[in-house]
């Protein structure tokens, strides 16, 4: 799109929900300050929304339902619709029309990132998405720029505020999962349908983006192994607390000799680990780099205003590039690194079984672990007199086994074999143990 270099930069906003309305507010309230930072005036030329908007900082005359048309008359398009479609169609329409794009849409980038990055390169425009990972925390730009002279070996982070809030409430207040979830919904930390958060899918989208940026290789949502927190019980929390550990839902991306891996899972971490002190709905990402060593980024991972601050920061960067007639370095995926096989990564695991309280049970279970070549590091048993197993008149115990390092494939085969024993009841709990 050819524009007079003295004319105001035209900004289109797609979506006027929680983040969209806060983005509009910042662009209006901070107009004079942002103009100084950009070096040229800007104006909002339209706000696409299907729903009525009554926010005082949104000019009603700018509202439109013709989102596709709006994408063709802007220099910067801010996509805050969310989801895959029609967001993908509108983003590509904006890029093909010569507009730079700012988005917070992690699901879109995790699924169609390569297509969008390629389109931006071919049309000579910018694609910025700081708010897509970690809300207000600056993660994307450091990965694109600050670590350009270094090599990242791994990243692990708490990148979903909803699940962190739930686990933190279970830990600090002793709440059951269902009660903590309901409380999160009442406070606005969780959606009415929390599936994307509690099943780990939101964090998985972010893990795919993190791995792509960190290792310069294409990693999509389908490459991410995902496990949520719905199986975490008060008993798991109590056992962790007794061992001076906490349970966190982590997004973990790694690059080693076996290749690249991206996983999301709940894990036990030592209470002295920096991530253990991340409470409530806050997020944090722990980076291990070859030269810079250990770095942790921490802050608000969600919320309208914090996320909008990251969006507007990207708008300023895109606008500055328009003023200077340049674009940022594109998303570089020059590597074609293999995906690490599932059995390449080794970890210690804590497995909790519900077992019959009678002689010989522990020996039978230990024998299955030995038969599969898994070494046991520790065993703990707690009587559970209020639980019962149909067909068994005795009491039940919780048996918690902590292993030495082993691969997950073998571990799960072992657990499946143990669960087939008549003395084992219910579904086991499996947690990784991180140093």
Q: Report the sign of the C-alpha dihedral through residues 348, 207, 317, 22, in that order.
A: negative
106 marked as binding residue = yes
426 marked as binding residue = no
**For residue 82, what are its two tokens?**
């969310």
Among 201, 346, 187, residue whose Cα is nearest residue 261: 346
Among 274, 287, 275, 281, residue whose Cα is nearest residue 140: 287
46 marked as binding residue = no
191 marked as binding residue = yes
- Tell me the β-bridge partners of 262: 253
| CA 218 to chain CA centroid, nearest Å | 17
CB atoms within 10 A of CB 390: 5
Q: Could you tell me which residues come within 8 angstroms of residue 151 by beta carbon, excluding any fewer than 6 positions away?
A: 289, 290, 291
285 marked as binding residue = no
Site of tokens 């019959």: 356
111 marked as binding residue = no
Among 131, 129, 76, 132, residue whose Cα is nearest residue 100: 76
18 marked as binding residue = yes
The CA-atom distances, in angstroms, between 108 and each of 76, 83, 86, 112, 125 are: 18, 6, 10, 6, 18
Among 72, 87, 74, residue whose Cα is nearest residue 318: 74
Q: Count helices and strands (H / E) in the chain.
A: 14, 17
16 marked as binding residue = yes
Q: Which residues are catalytic?
A: 206
15 marked as binding residue = yes
Length of the chain in residues, anyone? 435
3-state secondary structure of 110: helix
Q: 266 and 247 in contact (C-beta within 8 Å)?
A: yes
Phi, psi of 357 (to 5 degrees): -90, 80
Q: What is the DSSP string of 311-330?
A: HHHHHHHHHHHHHHT--PPP
Q: Could you tell me which residues come within 8 angstroms of residue 241 by beta carbon, excluding any fewer than 6 positions away?
A: 171
CA count, 13 A, side-chain hemisphere, 329 = 13
233 marked as binding residue = no
**For residue 211, what are its two tokens?**
């791995």
C-alpha span between 106 and 285 (Å, rounded) = 16
Residues in the annotated binding site for NADPH:
106
Q: Which residues fall in the annotated binding site for NADP(+)? A: 14-21
Instruction: Could you list the residues known to form a binding site for L-homoserine, using ranges.
Output: 191
């Amino acid at each position: 799109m050819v524009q007079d270099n003295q004319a105001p930069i035209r900004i289109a906003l797609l979506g006027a929900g929680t983040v969209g309305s806060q983005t509009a507010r910042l662009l209006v309230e901070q107009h004079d300050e942002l103009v100084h930072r950009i070096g040229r005036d800007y104006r909002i030329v339209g706000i696409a929304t299907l729903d009525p908007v009554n926010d005082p900082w949104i000019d009603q005359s700018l509202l439109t339902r013709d989102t596709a048309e709006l994408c063709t008359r802007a220099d910067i398009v801010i996509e805050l619709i969310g989801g895959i479609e029609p967001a993908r169609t509108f983003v590509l329409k904006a890029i093909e029309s010569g507009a730079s794009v700012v988005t917070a849409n992690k699901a879109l980038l995790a699924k169609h990132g390569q297509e969008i990055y390629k389109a931006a390169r071919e049309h000579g425009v910018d694609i910025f998405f700081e708010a897509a990972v970690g809300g207000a925390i600056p993660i994307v730009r450091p990965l694109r720029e600050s670590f350009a002279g270094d090599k990242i070996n791994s990243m692990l982070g708490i990148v979903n505020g909803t699940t962190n809030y739930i686990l933190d409430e279970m830990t600090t207040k002793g709440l059951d999962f269902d009660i903590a979830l309901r409380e999160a919904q009442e406070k606005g930390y969780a959606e009415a349908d929390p599936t994307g958060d509690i099943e780990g899918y939101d964090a998985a989208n972010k893990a795919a983006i993190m791995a792509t940026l960190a290792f310069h290789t294409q990693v999509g949502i389908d490459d991410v192994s995902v496990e949520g927190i719905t199986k975490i019980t008060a008993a798991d929390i109590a056992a962790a607390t007794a061992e001076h550990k906490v349970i966190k839902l982590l997004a973990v991306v790694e690059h080693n000799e076996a290749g690249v891996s991206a996983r999301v899972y709940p894990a036990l971490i030592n209470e002295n680990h920096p991530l253990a002190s991340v409470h409530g709905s806050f997020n944090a990402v722990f980076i291990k780099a070859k030269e810079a060593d250990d770095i942790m980024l921490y802050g608000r991972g969600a919320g309208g205003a914090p996320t909008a601050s990251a969006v507007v920061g990207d708008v300023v960067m895109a606008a500055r590039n328009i003023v200077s007639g340049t674009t940022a370095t594109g998303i570089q995926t020059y590597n074609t690194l293999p995906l690490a096989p599932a059995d390449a990564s080794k970890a210690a695991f804590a497995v909790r079984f519900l077992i019959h309280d009678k002689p010989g049970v522990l020996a039978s279970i230990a024998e299955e672990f030995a038969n599969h070549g898994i070494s046991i590091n520790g065993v703990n048993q707690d009587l559970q007199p209020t639980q019962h197993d149909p067909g068994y008149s005795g009491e039940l115990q919780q048996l918690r086994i902590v292993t030495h390092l082993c691969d997950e494939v073998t571990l799960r085969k072992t657990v499946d074999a143990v669960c087939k024993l008549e003395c084992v009841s219910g579904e086991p709990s499996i947690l990784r143990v991180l140093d």
